[in-house]
Structure 1
Amino acid sequence: MRMNEREIREKLALVTQKLMRLDGPENEEELKKSGESIGYFKRDFGIKEWDWPQGDGLYGLMNIMKAEHTEEYLDFLDQWFSSNMEEGLPSRNINTTTPLLTLMDVNERLKKAEYEKLLLDWADWLMTCMPRTKEGGFQHVTSANGDRQGVRLNENEMWIDTLFMTVLFLNKMGHKYQRQDWVDEGIHQVLMHIKYLYDKRSGLFYHGWTFRERNNFGDVFWCRGNSWFTLGILDYIEDFQKQLNAGVKEIILDTYRAQVETLKRLQAKDGLWHTVLDDPSSYEETSGSAAIAAGILKGIRLGILDDSYAACAQRAVEGLLANIDQDGTVLHVSGGTGIGMDKDHYKNILIAPMAYGQSLVIVALAEALRHC
């Protein structure tokens, strides 16, 4: 691969600085009018709130720190966590677990007792209090719209997002604190989500599964949903080092390879992926494309994918660079997306600057630098 290191570094700096000062979109009043039908959730905008979009943003900052061997954003991260804790945290659920993945890395550096207590309490809560579906899946409980302390139960539903938002954290905590029960629960959740969300015919993942109707809702292959697996599953496996059962590991990696093989075939000509992966009439979406690109690049670096994926990865990086505005805003990012019963639901989701859009591009470009 021939990556333009100078351009990547320049764009990466712009995207990172924009993330740390990100606020709501200029057309927010207009977006409010259509509300949840187009994915408008006020809490999702900006970098200040404690929820999954911001948690993904913090994950991006930590990734660039690791890739560049710097502590440049540590003060920002420390202030973000301490101010949110002082203000009072929102309800505990799948999505509000996301910031803790970064807090673990922050506290490896700062060793704050209040951070460690929160991490341990939350991991224990996931094991003992997190609502479950049939067969013990993590029920995809989310924050209530407009109510920081409320939740939406999404009863007996599993969503692919859960693997990234919650399971990565629980697995990492299990390894750090030598809690085999936490590690085992993470394995259970990964295999459960593959069992019910993976489509063997296409190699892709459905957005969700409901035990009530026993179906995958609208049977839609959503780009960002698939990308949570493409990116997150390699982070998950990496945390095991050599401890993961070889048979389980091979099932997971075979699933990853099959998914990436299909993603390679569905890549649009300018390097991105459509928000409905197998529907070229749906818009190309940058956040999911960034996570897919990062997952493919990492797979190549770790030797899980061969060099036949290099051209796909390079085109993806070029597509991402083309979707960064002069002020560092990542363009063509879809808003928060609940499960839909048809493709039109996903095709009509709003497009606006989002913390996870910034973050996932950061992760992809940081990974791309390893290939320069």
Structure 2
Amino acid sequence: MNPPSETEIRAKLDLVIDKLLHLGGPENEDELKNGGEAVGFFRRDFGITEWDWPQGVGLYGLLRMMQYTGSRQYVDFLNDWFAGNLRQGLPSHNINTTTPLLTLADFNLWVHNPEFEKLCLDWADWLMTCLPRTREGGFQHVTSANGDRQGVRLNENEMWIDTLFMTVLFLNRMGHRYHRDDWVDESIHQVLLHIKYLYDTHTGLFYHGWSFNRMDNFGGVFWCRGNSWFTLGILDWLEDFRGTLNRGVKTLVTDTYKAQVSALCRLQSESGLWHTVLDDPTSYEEVSGSAAITAGLLKGIRTGILDDGCLPVAARAVRAILDNIDEDGTVRNVSAGTGMGMNADHYKNILIEPMAYGQSLTILALAEALAAWYGKGGTL
């Protein structure tokens, strides 16, 4: 399959970005409330205004567009978003509320706000000294309490694959920027520990989580978006080292990424997307995880980690993603926030609604498509 045209990708990309900037809550909120957490209804997750992981991932898409294009088009939006949240008061410190700082750490290179810088430094220090740990020093996947901005859900002794994208990327980036070897070393520790306990050597895929209390991977489910956090995030993590990462560590991490990609390519559906439970074709096809996987594949090809044999998979995926963008820029078939599940049905029953991360991960996939097929060196 030939890749979609540059004109089509750019047109859809503009629509998706505009929708993200104005994304609000669901129109059928009262109906969704009835399903509660079991189907992924967390009021804070919807829209673009709240300070939590869905919005943080959303902001990251805008930041990457600024970095790709060199444009200041979204500076005012991002500046107002961060300043407004600071005025309102931030929610509790946890894994998920760290996510917006991944964007802020880089965005502040554009605006040079001392308050933003202090927040990033203080939060990185909090991760090192205050975040609860599992056995072996893993970052415990502490999340926001549902309905309580200052509360937390501890998820005691649990590691989730989401943590690598939501928190470890930020700590690594801050370590490199401020020459804090202890922060960088901790990010390496976390990546290796998550591979140790979440990677399945039989399939090449990642489980959603690991419990030291249970000493198992919960339901043993290979969740699409969970896997995509590694496919996409690990390349950004590697990139931050600028060639300084220990060769043995780099080889282990890169080989894990390539083995996962090989498994994902085999599991791609005929439509070009991936199922929300990757190895269960009866589960629905899900766009946000598929978009993140696609972005990770294309970046791997562009940076030379993967060979061009993955291009047909990427082309089919981009075509399918474009087909799931409405005329107003809404990305369809995106699953809501997904807690840890004990069986495949848990993931298959998560509701489908427009989400900030669905918009953002689509932005990243389309931006990488333009860079891979129509750009040079990642510049669009």
TM class, shorter-chain normalised? Answer: over 0.9
**Does the aligned pair in 1 maintain the 2:3–2:319 contact within 8 Å?**
no
In the aligned structure 2, how far is the partner of 1:28 from the partner of 1:48? 16
1:238-317 map, 5 Å: 238-317=239-318
Residue aligned with 1:98, SS = helix
Match of 2:74 in 1: 73
Aligned-pair identity (%): 70
1:1-372 map, 5 Å: 2-370=3-371, 371-372=373-374
**Does the aligned pair in 2 maintain the 1:3–1:368 contact within 8 Å?**
no
Deviation at 1:26, TM superposition (A): 1.3
Which TM-score applies when normalising by structure 1?
0.99
Deviation at 1:2, TM superposition (A): 3.4
Deviations 1:12-39 (A, max 9, x none): 0000000011011111110000100100
In the aligned structure 2, how far is the partner of 1:2 from the partner of 1:340? 36
In the aligned structure 2, how far is the partner of 1:80 from the partner of 1:366? 23
In the aligned structure 2, how far is the partner of 1:318 from the partner of 1:28? 31
Deviations 1:292-342 (A, max 9, x none): 000000000000000110000000000000000010000000000001000
In the aligned structure 2, how far is the partner of 1:3 from the partner of 1:243? 36
Residue aligned with 2:152, SS = strand
Deviations 1:72-99 (A, max 9, x none): 1011000000000000000000000000
- What amino acid is the match of 1:38? V
Deviation at 1:270, TM superposition (A): 1.1
Deviations 1:334-370 (A, max 9, x none): 0000010000000000000000000000000011111
Residue aligned with 1:47, SS = coil
Q: Which moved more, 1:64-73 or 1:277-286?
A: 64-73
In the aligned structure 1, how far is the partner of 2:3 from the partner of 2:139? 42
Number of residue pairs the alignment of both structures matches: 372
Residue aligned with 1:359, SS = helix
Deviations 1:251-286 (A, max 9, x none): 000000000000000001111000000000000000
Deviations 1:174-208 (A, max 9, x none): 00000000000000000000000000000000000
Runs of 4+ that moved beyond 4 A:
none
In the aligned structure 2, how far is the partner of 1:3 from the partner of 1:231? 21
Residue aligned with 1:258, SS = helix
Which TM-score applies when normalising by structure 2?
0.97
**Does the aligned pair in 1 maintain the 2:273–2:317 contact within 8 Å?**
yes
Give ranges in structure 1 of 5+ residues lacking alignment: none
Deviation at 1:235, TM superposition (A): 0.2
Residue aligned with 1:214, SS = coil
Residue aligned with 1:149, SS = strand
**Does the aligned pair in 2 maintain the 1:58–1:102 contact within 8 Å?**
yes
Residue aligned with 1:127, SS = helix
Deviation at 1:156, TM superposition (A): 0.0
- What amino acid is the match of 2:217? N
- What amino acid is the match of 1:292? I
Residue aligned with 2:340, SS = coil
Give ranges in structure 2 of 5+ residues lacking alignment: 375-380
In the aligned structure 1, how far is the partner of 2:269 from the partner of 2:68? 28
Deviation at 1:3, TM superposition (A): 3.5
In the aligned structure 2, how far is the partner of 1:95 from the partner of 1:242? 29
**Does the aligned pair in 1 maintain the 2:169–2:236 contact within 8 Å?**
yes
In the aligned structure 1, how far is the partner of 2:284 from the partner of 2:4? 26
In the aligned structure 2, how far is the partner of 1:196 from the partner of 1:2? 37
Deviations 1:121-140 (A, max 9, x none): 00000000000000000000
Match of 2:378 in 1: none
**Does the aligned pair in 2 maintain the 1:139–1:153 contact within 8 Å?**
yes
RMSD of aligned residue pairs (Cα, Å)? 0.6
In the aligned structure 2, how far is the partner of 1:14 from the partner of 1:28? 24
In the aligned structure 2, how far is the partner of 1:232 from the partner of 1:282? 24
Residue aligned with 2:219, SS = coil
- What amino acid is the match of 2:337? G
- What amino acid is the match of 1:8? I
